[in-house]
Structure 1
Amino acid sequence: MTAESALRWGSTLDSVVVYAQGALCSRLARGGVPADGRVRVTGLPRSLDPGSLRVKVLGAPGVRVTEARVEVEAELSGTDVLDTLRHEYERLSDAHAAAQGRRDRQLSLIEEVRALHPVPPARKRDDPHRRTPADAWLELADFVDERLTGLHHRLVELEEAVRGVAHELSVVTDRMERASTDTPSAHVETTVCAVVTLDGADRTGDAEVELELEYGVPGAVWVPAYRLTHRQGDGDGRLVLRASVAQRTGEDWTGVRIALATADLRRRTDLPRLRSVRIGRGQPAPAPSGWREPPAGLVGLFSGYDTAGPAPAGASGAVAAGLWLGSMDGSASGPVPPPAPQGYGAPPPPGSVGGAPPEAFGGAMPSPAPPTGAGHSRTRSAGRSRADAPAAAAPPAPGTAAPPPPPPPVAGPPQPSDAELDYAALALASPEEEAGRRGRLFPGSAFDPVAAEYRRRAETVAALRLPGQAVRPRESAGSFDHRFDATARADIPSDGTWHTVTVGEIPVGLRTEYLCVPSVEPVVYATLVLSNATDQALLAGPVEITVDDDFLLTTALPTLAPGGVRRVGLGPAEGIRVTRRTNLHESTSGLRNNTTVLDHRIHVELANRLSAPITVEVRERVPVTAEPDVRIEERADWTAPEEGAGPDRHAAGTRVWRLDLPAGATAALDGGYEIRIPTGKALADGNRRS
């Protein structure tokens, strides 16, 4: 089917779902359907995955899609051959080279003038001494100084010109590197379109039909970020979810609906194929349907091609019917076969009811040595016997062992593998292949160098350096997947750099608490306790905290599951003072003083110098023993914290005081514990405690 045989529809990008790596794009196309029902939807990116194309009809119940496949076209670019940046880059490159040449010539001229000095004439042995003309020496020195002064002034101007042109050239070079990959940069532009066949369009009359095309592209990543606004004394706050998105898919996302997902787009979702296991006599597996013998006269089909002589030097080995693809940067280089049919137009999968389509004609591709087993050897040998022409064996080299003879062909019907029955992935070998392969279908789609280069460049965004304290969503989401839909449309160019998108506002519960561990450091730290009452998880990422309209700091927000509560540190609280004193008293007890008693006493004082009441949590730690003879008796009103998981897990022996301090108040906390150790287990000078 040529480009003129199908009606062309333009398409607009409507929505994008960005996954952990890659994106799923949705385009809308509208137009009238011709009599044959075939339309060609343009505007698809060059880096799309052909196997991910899905098409559906919107708002027309009687119309359905019967075929959809991806095709690549080459056409002259409608824009100038070189865009403005490339013209500017070439102009500045020439200007920079010219400025350097002028600077180098000026340096050589300075060296020539600096080399000027008086040279006295050679004196013979009998000649008397001559008087040196001092005025001439001075005049030459003045001339050299004056000339060098002017040359150095000119050199300074040339150096400034070189630095200015070099700066402009570096700016243009940076702009070219950051430029969007959506615009072509060559004479010939290779475009991707979807050829769709509709059935039942005659029922709609002259009404237009709207199609939605969904396809996957590589080269898109995202990480979450937050902005938290809080007022002291309030029990809630505003948490704005933002996302840093980078994409180099080859098309600019302009005015699209953005959704962010933590799932892996490349994860397999097909169901496993379960085979029945029977106990009893062995039964041969039924031969898969869909395989056919190669048509008769296939070898003679290429006789005219062989008599035409070798292909031109500039032509590629693979020939496609009137289809020329571009080079790595999008320019035309040589003919390359089109990709295999994909999408709704692909032939039925293996095992389906009905005869095989024409793509199923051909032999099995010779493959490497299969695993041990009669089934594999039978399959491969049968494929070789029916697909490949026997080649004359070359005589072995002198001194080398003769290769083993090929196994005899196995009688019976062939048993092609699953790859040989995957019609959508079969590719037709070109006439440049060997005689036993050309004209037959083999597993593996046709190689498209332009698409491969676009996908390779798109994958480079996965190596971008993450923003500060950012965590990839696949790492913080754990075993669950989440999706976040942005409330407004956004613009993200295809330049491979980070762009910030506001997703929406999430209500969270907030309360300010203060935490200190005086045994480690006599400092009180302010913390925000966040509670997530929504049904969406908050992924780990950087959060900008603003308290009372004043920016406080940027810290890391941990992953907060639905209904979870986590603590975020805000730094030291200078308005709260804490002091800690300890006292140890050692004694003995028992009938014969056979027990050593170590009495530890702890005294903690807190002072609130803030203008608002606070809640302080003071943490201490008591010893833990596994010896049944060693006893530890606590004497304090502290409590043991609740056992948590992950970062909320407390060390063994942790004890907590929680108290409320009014503004300007002080409080004292007293506690302690006794360690009772039998005398036989005590160490000399080893029972002292700090």
Structure 2
Amino acid sequence: MTAEVVRRWGSSLDSVVVYAQGALCRRIARGTVPGDRRVRVTGLPRSLDPGSLRARVLGLPGLRVTEARVEVEAEPVRAGLAGDGDLLRREVDRLSDEQAAARARVERQTRLIKEVTALHPVPPARKREDPHRRTPVDAWLDLADFVDERLAGLHARLVELEKAVTVVDHELDLAFDRLARASTDAPSAHVDTTVSAVLTLAADHGGPVDRDAEVTVEVEYGVPGAVWVPSYRLDHRQGDETGRLVLRASVAQRTGEDWTGVRVALSSADLQRRTDLPRLRSLRIGRRQEAPAPSGWREPPAGLAELFAGYDSAGPRPAFRGSPMAGSAPGSAPVAVAAPPPPPPAPAPAVAPSGPPAFTGVPDFAASAPYGGGAPQSPVAPPPAPMARLAPSAPAPPGGLPAPPPPAPPPPAPVAGPPEPSLAELDYGALVLSGPDDRAGRRGRLFPDVTLDPVATEYRRRAEAVASLPLPGRTVRPRASAGSFDHRFDAAARADIPSDGTWHSVTVGEIAVGLRTEYVCVPSVEQTVYASLLLSNATEQALLAGPVEVSVDDDFLLTASLPTLAPGAVRRVGLGPAEGIRVSRRTQLRESVAGLRNNITVLDHRVHVELANRLAKPVTVEVLERVPVTSDADVRIEERADWTEPDSGAAAGRQAPGTRVWRVRLDAGATSALDGGYEIRIPTGKALVGGNRRS
């Protein structure tokens, strides 16, 4: 199959489902079916997983896809068609050369300064019989002036060169940053790679295909290198019982293709999670067993060994040591060297056991038996035989030579049973026929093609690096907050997300939530009233944990952390102090004795709380107080107030034991006074351990 005989269909990316790590992309292609019913859908990214390719026909029930395969084409980039990535790489190379040249100039200037600094007067050598000479001071001073003047000019030039190096370093850092943030949806510097899905179409029941009808094909494939985290924006109006909670997502992808105008969906599920159910086989006692499921393996054709008899009788092919282009003199004939004789034929492969082979990660396809010739072996190589060791107490034989190792144990006898080919051997399209130059045990048989594509591996490695991006503030990964459930969120509008490996904000949609404003104060701890929102999830989907930006009356207030909310769950979000509501608290303690013999100490606590509403609307304020608790039956606590115990559901949180609540409704500009208290009756024989009992 070549590119010339297969009709090409252009495709456009329609939708993307971003999972906790990785994405599932869907492309749409349209065209008319050619005579051979094979089409090539172009536009796929280089980092796609070939095993995830799926295709189907839309709109025509009588037509289906019978085969889908990934093929890669490469061609040199034509001059003048360099993309943005190529231009950025050229800019980085140019600035790197400038940086090296600038630093070389600085080093040269530094060496010159050291040479000038080393200049100093050296008097001539004096013999013993020569008298002492007078030092020419003018010459010394002239040399010192020359050195100072020269060093001043050199240092000024050095400062200019160091500034130039600083500027070039900054420009190079910016160029590297632009290159790192550039989209990967561009050809490399010299080669343009095209990834296509080759599809084979067929009509149901073998009927003819209408060539004039336009066919729409949907191609689905998975790609690594895409992550997302949720965030929220909450808009609230004071006095309203409702609000707008907008779900936004920060999405980063480096899949190798720009997502332009696509429908985006977000899922908290794991794309690589297993979905197949375990199969429990029956246990049968007796000689009669169920017939095994038929596999695709067939016996090799008879006379396969004689097929290459004529090829072997022709003798070895001549091998050439060199060619005229590889260093030989022009016009000289190449020297022929006889090739070594072919190796002896390998023994027939053993029959694979009937049980399934153990999975070790990467099967050894090269060592497995051919599919379509001989019984296929297990894809797992047998473990090496243990090395023979000499016993510590074994005496050495005469002559000082070590004792020979014991012979290796014989290999186990093969277990009779039907062959079980591996998954790679069942992939018929990936099987390659071994040629006549292969070893005797493989010639003329089908084996899986295990040739790895290093370019595709490098693309996937770069794409998976997105998972290590630092998260935005207060964000939590979906798998960490989803727990044991998975949900999907569909964006309301199409979005654009370039393949640059940076975070991009996508608005998913508005979520219906219930809101209720409450004012809470704990005057015994702090005489301040705090405003809070009771947020209830009124949808059938859970809200994942993430940051929420709270705006009240169109004014940004704060950014809080929203925990995971299951359907119907309620959480309190604090809004900070409410300056329009004032609170004050006074306490009074009276100590007395009671009982026939004054053997009971009575501690009477009085609490007086005053509230003042300075807002232009009525509010409801919860005042939290505390009452002592005791585990001693002889110590009694009598309450004298109209407060109540908190309701855990209404308070949306678990309160400490002994907490009491006043709920007061205040009109605009109104005030209210609350009086309460409690008595503690302690027998004389009882004493409080630790703390001040009168506080």
- Shorter-normalised TM range: 0.7 to 0.9
CA distance in 1, matches of 2:449, 2:682: 76
CA distance in 2, matches of 1:92, 1:362: 62
- Could you tell me which amino acid in structure 1 is paired with residue 172 of structure 2? L
Alignment counterpart, residue 185 of structure 2, candidates 170, 182, 185: 182
CA distance in 2, matches of 1:210, 1:684: 82
- Could you tell me which amino acid in structure 2 is paired with residue 72 of structure 1? V
CA contact (8 A) 1:58 1:211 kept: yes
CA contact (8 A) 1:8 1:41 kept: yes
TM alignment of 1:198-277, pairs within 5 A: 198-200=201-203, 202-276=208-282
The residue number in structure 1 matching 2:476 is 471
How far does residue 95 in structure 1 lie from its aligned partner after superposition? 1.0
Unaligned runs of 5+ in 1: 314-360, 372-379
CA distance in 1, matches of 2:125, 2:356: 89
CA contact (8 A) 1:586 1:598 kept: yes
SS in 1 for 2:523: coil
CA contact (8 A) 1:426 1:441 kept: no
| Percent of paired sites with the same residue | 68
Cα separation, partners in 2 of 1:93 and 1:254, compared to 1, 3 Å: same
TM alignment of 1:169-568, pairs within 5 A: 169-200=172-203, 202-276=208-282, 281=286, 283-290=288-295, 291-296=297-302, 364=352, 386-387=375-376, 399-411=404-416, 413-414=417-418, 416=420, 423=427, 447-568=452-573
- Could you tell me which amino acid in structure 2 is paired with residue 69 of structure 1? R
SS in 2 for 1:160: helix
Cα separation, partners in 2 of 1:436 and 1:668, compared to 1, 3 Å: farther
- 1:621 pairs with 2:626: yes
SS in 2 for 1:272: coil
CA distance in 1, matches of 2:678, 2:429: 74
The residue number in structure 1 matching 2:103 is 100
SS in 2 for 1:5: coil
SS in 1 for 2:174: helix
The normalised TM-score by structure 2 is: 0.79
Q: How many residues align?
A: 632
The residue number in structure 1 matching 2:24 is 24
Alignment counterpart, residue 669 of structure 1, candidates 670, 674, 689: 674
Q: Higher mean Cα deviation, 469-478 or 606-615?
A: 606-615
Cα separation, partners in 2 of 1:642 and 1:362, compared to 1, 3 Å: farther
TM alignment of 1:648-663, pairs within 5 A: 648-663=653-668
- 1:158 pairs with 2:164: no
Alpha-carbon displacement from aligned partner over 1:432-465 (angstroms, at most 9, x marks no partner): 9987678767799664433333222222212211
Cα separation, partners in 2 of 1:277 and 1:181, compared to 1, 3 Å: same
TM alignment of 1:50-89, pairs within 5 A: 50-78=50-78, 79-80=81-82, 83-89=86-92
CA distance in 1, matches of 2:67, 2:237: 59
Cα separation, partners in 2 of 1:364 and 1:7, compared to 1, 3 Å: farther
CA distance in 1, matches of 2:474, 2:430: 46
CA distance in 2, matches of 1:680, 1:686: 18
How far does residue 514 in structure 1 lie from its aligned partner after superposition? 2.1
CA contact (8 A) 2:497 2:504 kept: yes
CA distance in 2, matches of 1:654, 1:434: 85
CA contact (8 A) 1:19 1:264 kept: yes
CA distance in 2, matches of 1:501, 1:242: 6
Unaligned runs of 5+ in 2: 323-348, 360-367, 390-402
The residue number in structure 1 matching 2:345 is none
Cα separation, partners in 2 of 1:594 and 1:309, compared to 1, 3 Å: farther
- Could you tell me which amino acid in structure 2 is paired with residue 235 of structure 1? E
The residue number in structure 2 matching 1:113 is 116
How far does residue 283 in structure 1 lie from its aligned partner after superposition? 4.6
Instruction: Report the structure number with the largest CA radius of gyration.
Output: 2
The residue number in structure 2 matching 1:330 is none
CA distance in 2, matches of 1:281, 1:155: 95
SS in 2 for 1:86: helix
Q: Higher mean Cα deviation, 386-395 or 21-30?
A: 386-395
How far does residue 626 in structure 1 lie from its aligned partner after superposition? 4.9
- Could you tell me which amino acid in structure 1 is paired with residue 119 of structure 2? L
CA distance in 2, matches of 1:523, 1:500: 37
The normalised TM-score by structure 1 is: 0.80
CA contact (8 A) 2:202 2:209 kept: no
Cα separation, partners in 2 of 1:368 and 1:421, compared to 1, 3 Å: closer
- Could you tell me which amino acid in structure 2 is paired with residue 100 of structure 1? R
SS in 2 for 1:83: helix
Alpha-carbon displacement from aligned partner over 1:178-209 (angstroms, at most 9, x marks no partner): 22222232534443221111123955341221
Superposed CA RMSD in Å reads 4.2
CA distance in 2, matches of 1:614, 1:117: 90
SS in 1 for 2:151: helix
